[in-house]
Structure 1
Amino acid sequence: MTDDASKNQKPDPITERILAMIEDGGSVSPQEVAQAFYKDTKTPGMPADGWHKYMTAVRQQAIHLARQGRLQITRKGEPVDPNNFKGVVRLRKMPPAQP
């Protein structure tokens, strides 16, 4: 993809939601992100548990952001490899680099 094409590309709404939710320095679970995203997009008549369909997209975007160094995926409070992890994880802002 060229630089011009990436400039015209709209930001992914799930990516924006993830980054907004970790901006304050706290951590969130992928489930919390999916639920918040669904709550914002939900219309009357949609099922209450419809957020499940966003879980895969949230995890994929979290992995992408972790590979870019924009967030950290943790399990039991410890960073995990975004290319190889399982289980219950949380997302948090990358800690500042130590000098």
Structure 2
Amino acid sequence: MTGDATIRESIVALLSARSPDASVCPSEVARSLEATEDAWRTLMPQVRQVAAAMAEARLIVATQGERVVPSAEVLMASGPIRLRRGPAFPVDA
């Protein structure tokens, strides 16, 4: 079972590897942690849960198009979301 800390580390690593204004899809996070489609799809709710907590802590910002998705809505957001660096994203990550 993949823990929340591992998911959080994966989100930070994926965002750190890209330009500061780039984003990642939660499915990219899940795919980086699980090899099979069934496994990464099963992980998606947990990835969104961790993303919601990170958004609440302002480490990341979740978006749909140009709209910022409030942290309380990340779990229930209908359709795809993207994750971007937030104001509290670790500078040295």
Class of the TM-score when normalised by the shorter of the 2 chains: 0.7 to 0.9
**Counterpart-to-counterpart distance in 1, 2:33 and 2:84:** 17
TM-score, scaled relative to structure 1: 0.70
CA offset digits 1:29-82 (Å, max 9, x no partner): 11111011114xxxxxxxx31211110110000000000010000001321111
8 Å CA contact 2:58, 2:87 repeated in 1: no
TM-score, scaled relative to structure 2: 0.74
Q: RMSD between aligned alpha carbons?
A: 2.0
Residue 82 of structure 2 corresponds to 90
User: Structure 2: any 5+ residue segments left out of the alignment?
Assistant: 89-93
Larger radius of gyration: 1
Equivalent in 44, 47, 50 of residue 55 of structure 1: 44
The number of equivalent residue pairs is 79
Percent of paired sites with the same residue: 31
CA drift at 1:95: 5.0
User: Structure 1: any 5+ residue segments left out of the alignment?
Assistant: 1-10, 40-47
